[in-house]
Amino acid sequence: MNVRCNYCGHSFSLGREFMAMAVPQALEKRQKSVVVECANCRKQVKVPVRQMQRFVPRPAPDAPEESLEESEAS
């Protein structure tokens, strides 16, 4: 996910691993944004949690086909 610094205009990206850790922590604390430090000017930039949730990889859904095969075998 790309983020642009409000102060210096530098654009940088946040990794999926970072977002996968930050989003659950922010939701647990009921925060609306996550503070990220700009790599260029070291100022703090707020990134909305809702925006980060769109980029977090979702877990694979459970395959219902496997459960159907197991129930037929019984």
Domain boundaries, position 11: 2-56
Does residue 52 fall inside a structural domain? yes
> Which tens digits make up the pLDDT trace of 12-67?
999 989 999 999 999 999 999 999 999 899 999 999 999 999 988 777 676 555 55
* 68 against 29, higher pLDDT: 29
Does residue 23 fall inside a structural domain? yes
Does residue 72 fall inside a structural domain? no
CA distance 13 to 67: 40
Q: What confidence score (pLDDT) does residue 73 get?
A: 52
* 69 against 52, higher pLDDT: 52
Q: What confidence score (pLDDT) does residue 14 get?
A: 92
Structural domain count, the chain: 1
Transcribe 15-70 into DSSP letters: -HHHHHHHHHHHHHTT-SEEEEE-TTT--EEEEEHHHHHTTSPPPPPP-HHHHHHH
12 - beta bridge partners? 3
Q: What confidence score (pLDDT) does residue 44 get?
A: 96
CA distance 73 to 22: 42
Does residue 65 fall inside a structural domain? no
Does residue 70 fall inside a structural domain? no
